Amino acid sequence: MKILLLGGSSFLGRAYASQALDRGHDVTTFNRGRSGSDLPGVETVRGERDSADDLARLVEGRRWDAVVDTSAQQPAQAALSARLLRAHADHYTFVSSVHAFADWPARAVDETAPLHPCPADTPPDQPPGNPLKAGCERAVLEGFGADRTLILNSGLLIGPHENGGRLPWWLERMARGGRVLAPGDPTRAMQVIDVRDFAVFGVTALEAGRTGRYLTTAPAGNVTFGEFLATCVEVVGETVDGDGAAHPPAELVWVEDGQLLAEGPDSVQPWSELPLWAPDVPELAGVWLADTARAQAAGLRCRPFADTARDTWAWLRARGPAEDTDADGLKGRKGAAQKAGMVPAKEQRLLAALA
């Protein structure tokens, strides 16, 4: 098959490109070349997906069996690409998000759950927000046709080349050793899917010509938060810093949700300050309860979290210090507006006061 990837150079797009190449497909990537390098073996076309001229140059004299869109964040982007590619491709996979569902994360959702009421013709350059993915879906369906479109609502993606700072943050925190603030209930079930498993399912569905919608994440309870953090500790083990000083294995210190959410200067922001921490509160009651039965019936398989953690740690060590670190010790992607994780000094204050 001839496949066009809108994106294709970082994390999910990279995983799609790798999987498609491994299966012998011809892959073209269309991106700006700023988020990462394209894999050897792909045809690379540089351009802005917001530019009608760049997209017209992309499609001139070309046709693909399928398009995979991993990068649209605004409905106007999705509408433009779907409209221009309609006559140049047979199939369109749009990678959406569980965020598109209006009831999530407060309630469990499946493919029939209502979407946010974001229209397909939402003006461009909207502030980033969860409802926009619902508008992107509508734009693709209207511009390309529902009978040729596959929508994959992604759950929480982790794995090698992750650019969201979630699993990498925890692994690098464990590498510093010492007492580690472990938030909430260690028995709370999670749903995290390796980006490579998502790509395998996506390419397989594309090859089969599937259309419609699939909620694509790991089965509920594929790992608990306690297992997640304990595996990170085990995978990292004892480390040595640049000066040759050894850091003993990290020690998890569990602190209850209520203590971390208490009002005050050291109140903790769920998800951002302690990545993937979703406290047991009503507004997050369904965060790890997405129903993946339809995707599993269609062949979705997820590897053990321990495999993902080991591979991600190996990638982090091979990659080296490729992130910016600010004065508070927080790491983030170069050029990113936000840094992931908790300031080390705040963690130590909380451990001293609460543990």
Q: Give pLDDT tens digits for 204-214.
A: 999 999 999 99
Q: What is the pLDDT of residue 129?
A: 73
Confidence (pLDDT) at 243 = 66
The size of the chain, in residues, is: 355
- CA of residue 350 relative to chain centroid, distance: 29
pLDDT single digits (tens) 338-347: 357 999 999 9
Instruction: Name the more confident of 164 and 25.
Output: 25
Radius of gyration (C-alpha) of the chain in whole angstroms: 21
The pLDDT assigned to 130 comes to 73
Query: How many CB atoms lie under 10 A from the CB of residue 147?
Result: 8
Q: 289 by DSSP, 3-state: which?
A: coil
pLDDT at 132: 95
Question: Which of 41-55, 130-144, 294-308, 313-327 comes out lowest in average pLDDT?
Answer: 313-327
Q: What mean pLDDT, rounded, does the chain reach?
A: 91
- At residue 322, the pLDDT reads 53
Task: Tell me if residue 346 falls in helix, strand or coil.
Answer: helix
Please tell me the predicted confidence (pLDDT) of residue 332.
Answer: 47
Q: Are strands 189-190 and 223-224 parallel, antiparallel or unpaired?
A: antiparallel
Q: Which residue has the tokens 């209520």?
A: 258
**CB atoms inside a 10 Å sphere around CB 301:** 11
Q: Of the given ranges (8-17, 59-68, 112-121, 231-240), which has the lowest mean pLDDT?
A: 231-240
Give yes or no for residue 31 having a pLDDT over 90: yes
Dihedral sign computed on CA atoms, order 267, 272, 276, 282: positive
Q: Is it the case that residue 253 has pLDDT exceeding 70?
A: yes
Question: What is the tally of helices (H) and strands (E) in the chain?
Answer: 11, 17
pLDDT at 314 over 70: yes
Written as six digits, the tokens of 115 are 């979407």
Q: Is the pLDDT of residue 246 over 50?
A: yes
Sorted by where each starts, the structural domains of the chain and their CATH numbers stand as 2-154 (3.40.50.720), 167-191+221-287+304-354 (no CATH)
Predicted confidence at residue 94, as pLDDT, reads 98
Of 274, 283, 297, 84, the C-alpha closest to 181 is 274
Angle, CA 19 vertex, CA 318 and CA 271 arms, to 5°: 60
Share of the chain above pLDDT 70, in %: 93
Pairwise CA distance, residues 112 & 117, whole Å:
15
Enter the DSSP assignment of 352. Answer: H
Instruction: Read off the pLDDT band of 136 (50, 70, 90).
Output: very high
Residue 325: the pLDDT is 46
Confidence of residue 8 (pLDDT cuts 50, 70, 90): confident
Give the Cα separation of 45 and 64 in Å (integer). Answer: 14
Per residue in 46-77, pLDDT (tens digit) is 999 999 999 999 999 999 999 999 999 999 99
State pLDDT tens for residues 316-338: 999 876 554 444 444 444 433 33
Per-residue confidence (pLDDT) for residue 348, from 0 to 100: 94
The closest alpha carbon to 5, from 208, 25, 24, belongs to: 25
Q: How far is CA 100 from CA 105, 109, 164, in A?
A: 10, 11, 18
Q: What is the pLDDT of residues 187-205, one digit of tens each?
A: 999 999 999 999 999 999 9
Residue 249 vs residue 239, higher pLDDT: 249
